[in-house]
Amino acid sequence: MSSSNYCQELIQDFEKALENYDNCDVIIKTGEHKELRAHSFVLRARCSYFKKALSSDWEERDDNGNYILKKPNISTEVFQLILRYLYTGVVDCDQLSKDIILQSLVAADELGLDKLIE
């Protein structure tokens, strides 16, 4: 199996994990007080902002031991896009409104996701 095939498969599996909420241990509370779910391992590995936020110095957990990650200044839609990027590296710009794209850029800057901006 070539490594590009492997990457393809890995991305698909990560996407599935995100969509199915398998073993999620992070609850993200977005601007609309909606809740998104994600995996702390992926967030830590992919973004230094989350790495700090989920570190033992700063972590917040609910009674079930899930991490609580509040991000009131980012909308659910934008956050979803960011999560998709973190899990799969893919952002599908064509189907997005200009407004959402702009918001995403601002959020990416705050979180230090320089590659997403590019």
Partner 1 sequence: MSSRKQPKGKIRPPKKPNSADAQFNDNWDRLAQAIREIHKKNASILSFEELYRNAYNMVLHKNGDKLYNGVREVITQHLEEVAVSQVVPAFPLSGASSSQTNPNGAGGANFLKVLKTVWEDHTTCMLMIRDILMYMDRVYAKTANVPLVYDLGLDLFRDTIVRSQNYPIQNHLLEVLLQQIKLERENEIIDRTNVKASIDMLLELTDASTKDTVYATDFENKFLETSSEYYRVEGQMLVGEYDAPEYMKKVDKRLNEEEQRVRHYLSQTTEPKIRNIVEEELISKHLKTVIEMENSGLIPMLRNEKMDDLGRMYKLFGRVVKGHDEMKSAISDYIRELGKAINETVTSNTTAEGGNAASGDKQTGATVAVRWVQEVLDLKDKFDKVQNLALSNDKAFQTSFNEAFEYFINKNSKSPEFISLFIDDNLKKGLKGKTEEEVDSVLDKTITLFRFIGEKDVFERYYKQHLAKRLLLGRSVSDDAERGMIGKLKVECGYQFTTKLEGMFNDMRISSDTMTDFKEYLDKSVLEKPKLDLSVTVLTSTFWPMNLSASPRCNLPPELTKACGTFQNFYLGRHSGRRLTWQSNMGTADIRGSFKARKHELNVSTYQMVILLMFNDKQDGESLSYEQIKGESDIPEADLKRNLQSLACAKYKILVKEPKGKEINPGDQFNFNNDFTAPLQRIKIQTVASKVESEGERKETREKVEEARKHQTEAAIVRIMKDRKTMEHNLLIAEVVKQLQSRFMPNPALIKKRIEALIEREYLERATGDRRVYNYLA
| Footprint on this chain of partner 1 (rule: CB under 8 A) | 48-49, 52-53, 55, 57-58, 60, 69-71, 73, 110, 112
> Residue 6: how many CB atoms within 10 A of its CB?
10
Which CB sits closer to partner 1, 24 or 111? 111
Which CB sits closer to partner 1, 19 or 110? 110
Q: How far is the CB of 47 from partner 1 (least distance, A)?
A: 11
H-state helical runs in 1-118: 3-20, 40-46, 48-53, 76-88, 98-111, 114-117
Burial of 10-39, coded b for 16+ CB within 10 Å and e otherwise, reads eeeebeebbeeeeebbbbbbbbeeeebbbb
Which CB sits closer to partner 1, 16 or 70? 70
Q: How far is the CB of 68 from partner 1 (least distance, A)?
A: 10
Which CB sits closer to partner 1, 39 or 71? 71
> Residue 109: how many CB atoms within 10 A of its CB?
12
Q: How far is the CB of 49 from partner 1 (least distance, A)?
A: 7
